[in-house]
């Protein structure tokens, strides 16, 4: 099963959490796609086509699950777009919100995002949810 890992990459802590999630998925036997690892970073407007093609056309190809890190005051624009695209294609998603309880984030996490996926509060809860998905395959 191929898992697309979505989330913000604005600082080293965000990247580290995405890489931790990726490592967990791989340890559990999932194939992963991590955009900043597998395609690179968008450094200028000239990179946009390469990033879009790599992240979406290639990266979303054959994906069966999206795991999205939702930490921070707002979900990243790219993360929200990726989740919407996955939802439209019938690809399930799991959200990971480790920095606060989802009930406390209701004011700024979209009801659309909350209603579209299972959301877990820790990497350990994510592991359990991934194991359930793996067993049901």
Is the pTM here over 0.85, yes or no? Answer: yes
Fold (CATH) for 2-136 = Rossmann fold (3.40.50)
**Residue 130, pLDDT score:** 97
State phi, psi for 22 to the nearest 5 degrees.
-60, -45
1 exposure class (CB count in 10 Å sphere: 0-12, 13-18, 19+): middle
Domain ranges for the chain, please list them.
Answer: 2-136
pLDDT tops 80 at residue 106: no
Band of residue 110 on the pLDDT scale cut at 50, 70, 90: confident
């Amino acid at each position: 099963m191929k898992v697309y890992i979505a989330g913000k990459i604005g600082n080293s802590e965000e990247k580290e959490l995405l890489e931790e999630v990726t490592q967990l998925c791989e340890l559990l036997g999932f194939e992963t796609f991590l955009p900043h690892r597998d395609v690179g970073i968008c450094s200028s407007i000239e990179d946009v086509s390469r990033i879009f093609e790599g992240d979406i056309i290639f990266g979303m190809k054959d994906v069966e699950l999206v795991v999205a890190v939702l930490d921070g005051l707002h979900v990243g624009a790219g993360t929200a777009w990726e989740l919407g695209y996955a939802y439209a294609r019938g690809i399930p998603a799991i959200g990971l919100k480790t920095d606060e309880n989802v009930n406390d984030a209701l004011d700024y996490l979209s009801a659309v995002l909350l209603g579209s996926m299972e959301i877990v509060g820790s990497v350990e809860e994510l592991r359990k949810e991934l194991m359930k998905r793996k067993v049901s395959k």
